[in-house]
Amino acid sequence: MVTNPSLRPARARVSAIATYVPPRVLSNADLEKLVDTSDEWIMQRVGIRERHVVDPGIATSDLAKEAALIAIQRAGLTPEDIDLIIVATTTPDTLFPSTACVLQAKIGAPHAWGFDLMAACSGFTYALTTASQIVAAGGSRHALVVGADVMSSIIDYTDRTTCVLFGDGAGAVVVEPADDEAIGVLDFENYVDGNGGPALCMPAGGSRMPASTETVNERLHYVKQDGQAVFKFAIRNMEEVCRRILDRNHLTADDIDLFVPHQASLRIIIAATEKLGLPRDKVVINIERFGNTTAGTIPLALCEAHEAGRLKRGDLVLLASVGAGFTVGGVLLKWALDR
């Protein structure tokens, strides 16, 4: 505990938020034509009715650019003001250069350095954590954090067990020093369990198994998943990460004004929030219209809540994510924006 106020580190706050999804909608009815599935099965198991997907030729940086430019404008800034870009993504435009570099050029942010952060569905919480620490330490004045994925680029649309789950989308926030010490990112909790790797992965295309005719023929450049292992881990750890943050901050679920969980499955969200004792009206759920957009889900849900007037300055917001790796992340913040 730092008792001398002059030594207390500054806080970082989210000063603007924006999102972008590609216009094309892939409904459950569309998927019924591709694989042996049904709207009823998908709604009952995961609560997804439709998801947005890109047209050919559109990449993660294209979605990121749209969200980023709106967020920067909403923060009252121009791209020239941005000094740090972190892009959380599992589907970078290319393995290198990073999507952050591509985005820096696309939005015209000459004073920004940046990098990609790969933590699958925990990408946004990890990136927000990272940026807020750099900002709080004085290393950045105007950081841009983007969670963006084109999951349709790594989904096997002949595999009914995975293709119904994911969609494409992006969200961006600007992170700046807090104007009020009581506002901004208050705490975070991140951890990983690397033993869970095989349960959710894309086997080929990296240094372990470089792309070859065989890897393509064996469809190894697509998402592979042990759904039940992921399901159990996600419920347990969505609850665990929230409890750790609440306990450490001497809070209970009653103190939280809004809970914004990663949107992987309605059943996971409901089970975790019931265990936490959070009433449904404090939980943001929009999975029905977007599916799992990986690093995009939390900013998509947070922005929607903000735009719907569900948040006011000073509200206590809890974000939580679980993703491939396994990665787990939670962020506690006092909302810094007016309604």
- Known catalytic residues are 121, 262, 292
Residues in the chain: 339
CB of 161 vs ligand ACO, minimal distance in Å: 4
Beta bridge partner(s), residue 114: 85
CB of 231 vs ligand ACO, minimal distance in Å: 4
Separation between Cα atoms, residue 19 and residue 68, nearest integer Å: 8
Q: Would you say 208 and 44 are in contact if contact means Cβ atoms under 8 Å apart?
A: no
Q: Is 41 among the residues that bind ligand ACO (CB under 6 A)?
A: yes
Nearer to ligand ACO, 135 or 318 (CB): 318
Q: Which stretch binds ligand ACO (CB under 6 A): 190-198, 205-213, 230-238, 311-319?
A: 230-238
Supply 149's token pair: 């994925």
What is the identity of the amino acid at 96?
A: F
Please give the residues from 46 up to 75 whose contact with ligand ACO meets the rule CB under 6 A.
46
Please give the residues from 75 up to 104 whose contact with ligand ACO meets the rule CB under 6 A.
none
What is the identity of the amino acid at 327?
A: T
Q: Is 236 among the residues that bind ligand ACO (CB under 6 A)?
A: no
Q: Would you say 209 and 146 are in contact if contact means Cβ atoms under 8 Å apart?
A: no
Q: Is 190 among the residues that bind ligand ACO (CB under 6 A)?
A: no
Which residue in 72, 173, 200, 303 binds ligand ACO (CB under 6 A)?
200
Kindly determine how many residues on this chain lie close enough to bind ligand ACO according to the rule CB under 6 A. Answer: 23
Nearer to ligand ACO, 88 or 230 (CB): 230
Q: Is 323 among the residues that bind ligand ACO (CB under 6 A)?
A: yes
Q: Which residues contact 76 (CB under 8 A, 6 or more apart)?
A: 16
Measured at CB, which residue is nearest to ligand ACO? 227
Separation between Cα atoms, residue 208 and residue 98, nearest integer Å: 20
Report DSSP state, residue 54.
Answer: P
Q: Which stretch binds ligand ACO (CB under 6 A): 8-16, 160-168, 178-186, 247-255?
A: 160-168
The gap from C-alpha 92 to its chain's centroid, in whole angstroms, comes to 14
Binding mask 237-266 for ligand ACO (x = CB under 6 A): -------------------------x-xx-
CB of 110 vs ligand ACO, minimal distance in Å: 35
Separation between Cα atoms, residue 231 and residue 238, nearest integer Å: 11
Is the C-alpha dihedral spanning 91, 94, 95, 96 positive or negative? negative
Which residue in 124, 222, 231, 259 binds ligand ACO (CB under 6 A)?
231
If you write DSSP's letter for every residue of 144-189 in order, what string do you get? Answer: EEEEEEEGGGS--TT-HHHHTTB-EEEEEEEEEE-SSTTSEEEEEE
CB of 268 vs ligand ACO, minimal distance in Å: 6
Residue ranges binding ligand ACO (CB under 6 A): 37, 41-42, 45-46, 121, 160-161, 164-165, 200, 225, 227-228, 230-231, 234, 262, 264-265, 292, 322-323
